[in-house]
Structure 1
Amino acid sequence: MQMGLDFNLVEELVAGVDEVGRGPLCGAVVTAAVILDPRRPILGLNDSKKLTEAKRDALFDEICEKALSFCIARAEVEEIDRLNILHATMLAMQRAVEGLHVTPKLALIDGNRCPKLSVPAAPVVKGDSQVPAIAAASILAKVTRDREMSAFELIYPGYGIGGHKGYPTPVHLEALARLGPTPIHRRSFAPVRAAWEAREGASTLLI
């Protein structure tokens, strides 16, 4: 069901901002900021997790075509390990908003925290199910990250990354223990750190 766009808000240049990838053990955290165009409505917007992959892919293209402005940004694994996942996510959200070629008058952030921005911002809990611009941002971020994870499946076979997208599923945890971490694994995350230390310990015993 199409959520009701608040045309007054859209006309006032409101950006929706969301992230994907806080929980996975590997890969970047990806964010997006979107300013929708009230003259070019997009049907079917919803929380990206509630949509099929095919629907997300179709909406991804439509959002990129019809939005007044959008920006997809990220914080890399090295930044996540250095800053922690919360601060890295806030940094990636800052990058997404700053990357918009149209300056919003307000940024609505999915969740209960806001990054430090040069424009006014407000958090919206479960915003990806309530605010069309946030739903659009969630779709851009998720499709982008999912495609990256599918590509990493080819580079790092054996971990099932293309299926679980880096989340700590039993398949992923077993592969991590058996094969060890890859360069895209977040060593600040406990399961990855444990796997790394186990392999380091085993290497020490062999010396």
Structure 2
Amino acid sequence: MQESILKLDPKPAHIVVDGNSPFIPKGGIKNRAGKIFTDAEIDILNSIPNADIIKGDAKFLSIAAASVLAKTYRDEYMNKIRREFPIYSWKQNKGYPTKEHREAIRIYGVTKYHRMTFPLLPEQLKFNL
């Protein structure tokens, strides 16, 4: 999300995010999902007022619209990758691991599509990548 915000021109005046995860974590932004931000990028992100809104899609039309677009894209993307890796049952889990999906991870490991910042297994195994 932070990388996307940095690409916007003009920069947003305010950001509202659905959920309980702040746009700017308490420890600040250093490294998110493998991206190491420069000091200049951190300054830009920190300069934008923002709020995380629990159940924001029910309170803000902009969040509701973004949610619909994100879910539509996610569903199309999951259909694409399920054809490449059918053993992971991505059609059923829509990006959130089901019991069957987790068992496939245990047996076959992860793919380039797995979100390594997301708990893949209940005990969150560490993978040697």
TM-score, normalised relative to structure 1: 0.43
Is 1:172 the equivalent of 2:81? no
1:103 paired residue number:
11
67, 77, 84: which one aligns with 1:148: 77
Task: Return the structure number with greater relative CO, CA threshold 8 A, min gap 6.
Answer: 1
Tell me the SS of whatever aligns to 2:88: coil
Tell me the SS of whatever aligns to 1:158: helix
155, 159, 162: which one aligns with 2:91: 162
Per-residue deviation, 1:168: 1.9
Measured on the aligned residues, the alpha-carbon RMSD in Å equals: 2.7
Identical residues among aligned pairs (%): 36
2:53 paired residue number:
124
Per-residue deviation, 1:135: 1.0
Per-residue deviation, 1:187: 5.1
Q: Per the alignment, do residues 152 and 195 of structure 1 end up closer, same or farther by CA in structure 2, a change over 3 Å counting?
A: farther
Q: Please, which runs of 5 or more residues in structure 2 have no aligned partner?
A: 25-44
Per-residue Cα deviation, 1:71-100 (whole angstroms, up to 9, x for no partner) = xxxxxxxxxxxxxxxxxxxxxx22232333
What amino acid is aligned across from residue 53 of structure 2 in structure 1? V
User: For the Cα contact (< 8 Å) 1:180–1:195, is it kept in 2?
Assistant: no
User: For the Cα contact (< 8 Å) 2:13–2:49, is it kept in 1?
Assistant: yes
Q: Per the alignment, do residues 187 and 136 of structure 1 end up closer, same or farther by CA in structure 2, a change over 3 Å counting?
A: closer
What amino acid is aligned across from residue 108 of structure 2 in structure 1? L
Per-residue Cα deviation, 1:126-178 (whole angstroms, up to 9, x for no partner) = 11111001111112222222221111101112111122123221221222233
Q: Per the alignment, do residues 193 and 127 of structure 1 end up closer, same or farther by CA in structure 2, a change over 3 Å counting?
A: closer
Per-residue deviation, 1:124: 1.8
